[in-house]
Structure 1
Amino acid sequence: MVVVGLTGGIGSGKTTILEYFKTLGIPVYIADVEAKALMNRSKIIKRKLIDLFGEEAYKNNRLNKPYLSSKIFNNRELLSKMNAIVHPKVASHFKRWLKKQNADYVIKEAAIIFENQLQNQYDFIITVVADEDLRIQRVINRDQTTAEKVKSVIKNQLLDAEKVKMSDFVIINNDLDDAKKQAVKVHKKILQKIKS
């Protein structure tokens, strides 16, 4: 099974592009969504996160996202310890999911493919990019946050130009209709590469 990675910075519109690939019949796995689900479901992850962050990591038996975000926001060491707990579980969940798929290829969305040097896990990589002002506005609208907070996240992510250099395909998502047309072209190219 061909696995295509899809990545891009915060507010680039990865989810929108993924939804469009779904309409083309491509199974989609969103690592971040599955990670959050596993953090709530898995007793092992829960126990390890409480050991790491304390009892406040969970509130009413649900992941306390604001608390965890505040803890890892400027603490790379804590972030990597949390990732070391969660990522292996997500990886094995993805393998099980992959076995159940029946398509020419699947897309696995992960925001930090290049940051974590995971590009060798994919046959092809699509990077979604958009103008920074637009990205900031999208995240402000989506998360009811501030431009400063969004900019600090962008600062912690690899520059789009760096991601583009390492990608097989790029979708510029400043205009939705145009981005959809680009997605169709990418889809066709991937199918061609698989068949050849």
Structure 2
Amino acid sequence: MKIIGLTGGIGSGKSSVGNLLEHKDIPIYYSDLRAHEIMNESDKIVSTLKELYGDDIYVDGKLDREKLGSIVFADKDKLAALNELVHPEVFADFDTWKKEQNSDFIIKEAAILFESGSYKNCDIVVTVSAPLETRIIRTMARDDKSREEVMDRISKQWTDEQREEKADYIIKNDSSFLDLEREVEQFYYWLQNSI
């Protein structure tokens, strides 16, 4: 079983790529989604976040991600502390999930695959790249955020150039969805021949 790391900056379209690959029966672990779930499920994380940010960081038993984001994305030390708390739990959760899979390939999708160091446990890393302005517009529309808020999030991640330099394969998402489907088909063909 080979582990494929799938990454890309905010608004790059990595989730769309993940969905297309999932339709090819490749199991996908969505790290960011599981991190959000774990921050609601793990007693250790819930209690630590309440200690750090107050009981009102949870509303009706659910993490107020907007509030947490406004705190940690404004302070790199608080963001680093959050990552140090959550990443080990996500890594352990991925290992448990991996043992349940029976496939030649599995995919670990993560926005900060390189930044978190989890790329080191992947056999192949693919990054999705898109023009910066396209990413900004997509994210503003999807998340109902201002341009400044989106740019602030982007500034906390690696650039496309940094990711491309370390990736084994690059999927360009700079045109239509049909073109993206073709890019994913080419990647899937490449993957089948890389075994």
Q: Do Structure 1 and Structure 2 share a fold, with TM-score over 0.5? A: yes
In 2, Cα distance between equivalents of 1:145 and 1:80: 23
- Of all paired residues, the percent bearing the same amino acid is 35
- Shift of residue 134, structure 1, vs aligned partner: 1.1
Contact 1:30 1:109 in 2 (8 A): yes
Corresponding residue number in structure 2 for 1:123 = 123
Partner Cα distance (2:187, 2:53) in 1: 42
Give the deviation of 1:132 after TM superposition: 1.2
Report 1:116-195 matches (<5 A). 116-174=116-174, 175-194=176-195
Structure 2 match to 1:8:
8
1:35-50 matches, within 5 Å, as: 35-50=35-50
| Residues 138-165 of structure 1, C-alpha deviations (whole Å, 9 max, x = no match) | 1111011111111122222211111101
Shift of 1:117: 3.2
CA contact (8 A) 1:29 1:109 kept: yes
Quote the Cα distance in structure 2 between the aligned partners of 1:95 and 1:157: 25
Between the aligned partners of 1:157 and 1:79, the Cα distance in structure 2 is: 12
One-letter amino acid matched to 1:91: F
Which one-letter code corresponds to 2:65 in the other structure? K
- Indicate if the aligned counterparts of 2:12 and 2:128 stay in contact, CA closer than 8 A: yes
**Pairwise CA distance, 1:115:** 2.0
Shift of 1:71: 0.9
The superposition leaves residues 6-41 of structure 1 with CA deviations (integer Å, 9 ceiling, x where unpaired) of 111110011111000011111011101000101111
TM-score (norm 2): 0.95
Moved more, 81-90 or 31-40: 81-90
Equivalent pairs counted in the alignment come to 194
Find the counterpart in structure 2 of residue 25 from structure 1: 25
* Partner Cα distance (1:173, 1:16) in 2: 10
CA displacement at 1:95 relative to structure 2: 0.6
CA distance in 1: counterparts of 2:117 and 2:95, whole angstroms: 19
Please give the root-mean-square deviation of Cα atoms over the aligned residues, in Å: 1.1
Contact preservation (8 Å) 1:104, 1:191? no
In 2, Cα distance between equivalents of 1:154 and 1:109: 18
Q: Which amino acid aligns with 1:180?
A: E
Aligned partners of 1:88 and 1:156: how far apart in 2? 20
Gaps of 5+ in 2: none
CA drift of 1:3 comes to 0.6
C-alpha separation in 2, matches of 1:50 and 1:155: 27
* Cα distance in structure 2, aligned partners of 1:57 and 1:142: 23
1:33-58 alpha-carbon deviations (Å, 9 max, x no partner): 00010111111111111122221221
Bigger shift: 154-163 or 11-20? Answer: 154-163
Aligned partner of 2:96 in structure 1 is 96
Give the TM-score normalised by the residue count of structure 1: 0.95
CA deviations 1:47-93 (Å, max 9, x no partner) are 11112222122111110111111110121111111111111111111
